[in-house]
């Protein structure tokens, strides 16, 4: 049993189950989320917010979300 637990912990955070990713929605916009591999996060393209995945567990608390910066916005600021 201990060996199985170690394997599960070792592989935690490497991928989100496909079924789970199809069910999860953004807690703010209620729209589907996209899985981003680098960094491990779920992204809401609708509102431009990413939610981290820590140890294989999506953190979908609104305060954990980070606003994504658009590439076009950086050029306007210069």
pLDDT > 90? residue 27: yes
| Predicted TM-score of the model (pTM) | 0.69
Burial class (CB in 10 A: 0-12, 13-18, 19+), 44: buried
Q: What is the pLDDT of residues 42-72, one digit of tens each?
A: 999 999 999 999 988 899 999 999 999 875 5
- Do 35 and 45 form a contact (C-beta atoms < 8 A)? no
CA distance 68 to 31: 16
Note the helical H segments in 1-78: 2-11, 18-23, 71-77
Cis, peptide link before residue 39, omega less than 30° from 0? yes
- Write down the mean pLDDT value for the chain: 79
């Amino acid at each position: 049993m201990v060996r199985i637990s170690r394997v599960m912990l070792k592989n935690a955070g490497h991928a989100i189950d496909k079924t789970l990713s199809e069910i999860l929605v953004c807690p703010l916009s209620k729209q589907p989320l996209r899985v981003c591999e680098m960094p491990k996060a779920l992204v809401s393209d609708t509102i431009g917010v990413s939610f981290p995945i820590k140890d294989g567990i999506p953190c979908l608390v609104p305060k954990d979300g980070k606003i994504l910066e658009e590439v076009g916005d950086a050029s306007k600021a210069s």
